């Protein structure tokens, strides 16, 4: 199957897609493989999708619900649009998220089960946070690092039982890493992907919809709490989690390849009175909440201290874990004012036309118009509440301070009112606006702990 992408707009004036080169002025000398900063615009060729890419149990249902485009995530089709641009596109989907309730196909969050007598000890060895503090039927947002402290994955970790954990993955295949680790360590556990596929129910009316599905008990579910239930007679695990900062839940369907239709149609019918809409994952809202996307904002060469995840590296975890020695070294370097990296993540507000769709390049950041680029934007979007473009991005460490003035170079479709592609930007605090469900970093900041430095 081949997917045709729309004809690309011309990229930056002095370049054509075939001639675009990697920006060499952004110092990435601390990386083995620099972030790809080729400003080549949209893909101008047909992308061949083979059997290497899986279709999730909900894929045909997403198509039935109007999905018109997709990306690949965890080697699966991932819906990325239901409302067509001529009908308002992703901003219409956003409106449903912040005012009503939405259903997302997130089966790409593959579930890797770790089960056995040594499950807690094994999980505690591969995550930076303390797994012994996670009680059965609770979850946590966690990170797994390599020996050099780079972030391999940032999943939601579900503890289903004393001897059973599920890693609900972001976009990097963790099963192979976990199996490789245990080849040497030989913990008494089994490690395997299981036939469990989640959907997300997100938005201010999500609790009312979930009560209709599961009864009043779901209202008592704490943030990152889990409960067992059934939908259409099929077993599920429910969590109060999500990718938005809004009130929301995930429903993990067991034996999903058998029962996907029953769950999907039941949720659609139940959601009718709540004005439910099927939408794609709302990256515009997750950016506002400061929620990161692996492979876009972070990767295996990104240290937690570079990207507002320092709270994921506890000072008081006595047990050894992969990357601990290096991360403690980095913390000491940070506290001494000598970070071992060139770039650090910041939040940005920037001018230009509203960014209402996914960026297909890492837009470049300079200190002033006409200057050589020194950094890059990873996740931009327009915030209707703030009435401005917002973004996550990386800048030199010395430019990290709130209020620092910068310039972002935009593609032509988002040029400023005067047609200028280089627009004003300012470093601002993250999250960009308060969340209904504040993440761990937000809660830590509310207690007076600031990890920006």
Condensed to tens digits (0 to 9), the pLDDT of residues 362-397 reads 999 999 999 999 999 999 999 999 999 999 999 999
- φ and ψ at 196, to 5 degrees? -130, 130
pLDDT tens digits along 103-127: 999 999 999 999 999 999 999 999 9
pLDDT of 407 over the 60 cut: yes
- pLDDT bin (cut points 50, 70, 90) of residue 27 is very high
- Counting residues of the chain whose pLDDT is more than 70, the rounded percentage is 92
Which pLDDT does position 439 carry in this prediction? 63
| Residue 434 pLDDT | 77
Q: What angle do CA 41, 47, 50 make, to 5 degrees?
A: 150
| Res 33: pLDDT | 94
pTM of the model: 0.92
52-87 pLDDT per residue, tens = 999 999 999 999 999 999 999 999 999 999 999 999
Q: What is the model's pLDDT at position 179?
A: 98
Averaged pLDDT, 350-372 = 95
Q: Is the pLDDT of residue 21 over 90?
A: no
Give the rounded percent of residues in the chain with a pLDDT score beyond 90: 85
| pLDDT band with cut points at 50, 70 and 90 for residue 6 | very low
> What was the pLDDT predicted at 19?
52
pLDDT, average across residues 26-54: 88
Residue 10 has pLDDT above 50, yes or no: no
Q: What is the pLDDT of residue 441?
A: 61
**Mean pLDDT lowest for which of 191-200, 227-236, 435-444?**
435-444
Per-residue pLDDT at 47: 83
**pLDDT above 90 (res 12):** no
pLDDT at residue number 28:
94
pLDDT band for position 444 (50/70/90)? Answer: low
Give residue-wise pLDDT tens across range 229-283.
Answer: 999 999 999 999 999 989 999 999 999 999 999 999 999 999 999 999 999 999 9
Residue 146 has pLDDT above 80, yes or no: yes
Residue ranges of E strands in 131-241: 138-141, 144-145, 151-153, 156-161, 164-168, 190-193, 196-202, 226-231, 234-239
Q: Are 32 and 46 contacting, i.e. CB atoms less than 8 angstroms apart?
A: no
Give the helix, strand, coil percentages of the chain, each rounded to 5.
25, 30, 45
Bridge partners (DSSP) listed for residue 390: 349, 381
Question: Mean pLDDT, the chain, as a whole number?
Answer: 92
Least confident of 137-151, 212-226, 435-449: 435-449
Where is 249: in which H helix or E strand? strand 248-254
pLDDT of residue 4: 43
Question: Are 132 and 118 within 8 A, CB to CB?
Answer: no
Is pLDDT of 453 > 50? no
Q: What is the pLDDT of residue 449?
A: 53
Residue whose pair of structure tokens reads 């429903």 in the numeric block: 251
Cα–Cα distance, 4 to 20 (Å, whole number): 21
**Model confidence at 438: pLDDT above 90:** no
Q: Is the pLDDT of residue 450 over 90?
A: no
Map out the domains of the chain with their CATH numbers: 196-274 (3.30.1360.120), 287-446 (3.30.1360.120)
């Amino acid at each position: 199957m081949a997917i045709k992408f729309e004809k690309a707009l011309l990229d930056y004036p002095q370049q054509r897609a075939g001639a675009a080169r990697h920006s060499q002025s952004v110092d990435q000398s601390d990386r083995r493989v620099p972030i790809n900063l080729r400003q080549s615009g949209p893909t101008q060729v047909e992308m061949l999708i083979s059997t290497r890419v899986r279709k999730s149990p909900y894929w045909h249902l997403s198509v039935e619900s109007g999905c018109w485009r997709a990306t690949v995530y965890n080697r699966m089709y991932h819906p990325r649009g239901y409302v067509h641009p001529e009908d308002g596109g992703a901003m219409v989907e956003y409106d449903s998220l912040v005012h009503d309730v939405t259903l997302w196909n997130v089966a790409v969050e593959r579930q890797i089960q770790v089960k056995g007598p040594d499950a807690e000890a094994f999980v505690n060895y591969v995550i930076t946070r303390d797994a012994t503090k996670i009680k059965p039927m609770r979850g946590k947002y966690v990170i797994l690092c390599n020996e050099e402290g780079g972030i391999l994955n940032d999943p939601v970790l579900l503890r289903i039982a004393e001897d059973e954990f599920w890693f609900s993955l972001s976009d990097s295949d963790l099963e192979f890493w976990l199996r490789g680790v245990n080849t040497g360590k030989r913990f008494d556990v089994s490690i395997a992907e299981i036939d469990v596929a989640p959907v997300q129910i997100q938005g201010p009316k999500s609790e009312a919809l979930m009560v209709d599905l599961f009864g009043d008990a779901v209202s008592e579910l704490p943030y990152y709490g889990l409960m067992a239930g059934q939908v259409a007679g099929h077993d599920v695990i429910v969590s109060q989690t999500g990718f938005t900062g809004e009130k929301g839940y995930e429903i993990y369907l067991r034996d999903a390849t058998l029962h996907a239709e029953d769950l999907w149609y039941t949720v659609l019918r139940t959601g009718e009175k709540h004005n439910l809409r099927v939408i794609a994952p709302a990256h515009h809202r997750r950016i506002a909440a400061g929620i990161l996307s692996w492979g876009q904002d972070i990767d295996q060469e990104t240290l937690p201290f570079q990207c507002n995840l320092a709270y994921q590296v506890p000072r008081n975890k006595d047990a050894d874990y992969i990357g601990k020695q290096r991360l403690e070294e980095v913390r000491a370097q940070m506290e001494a004012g000598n970070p071992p990296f060139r770039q650090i993540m910041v939040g940005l507000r920037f001018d230009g036309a509203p960014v209402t769709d996914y960026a297909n390049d890492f837009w470049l950041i300079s200190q002033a118009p006409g200057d050589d680029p020194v950094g890059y934007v990873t996740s931009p979007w327009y915030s209707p509440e703030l009435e401005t473009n917002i973004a996550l991005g990386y800048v030199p460490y010395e430019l990290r301070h709130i209020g620092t003035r910068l310039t972002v170079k935009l593609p032509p479709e988002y040029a400023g009112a005067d047609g200028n592609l280089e627009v004003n930007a300012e470093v601002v605090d993250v999250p960009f606006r308060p969340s209904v469900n504040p993440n761990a970093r937000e809660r830590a900041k509310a207690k007076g702990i600031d990890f920006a430095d």
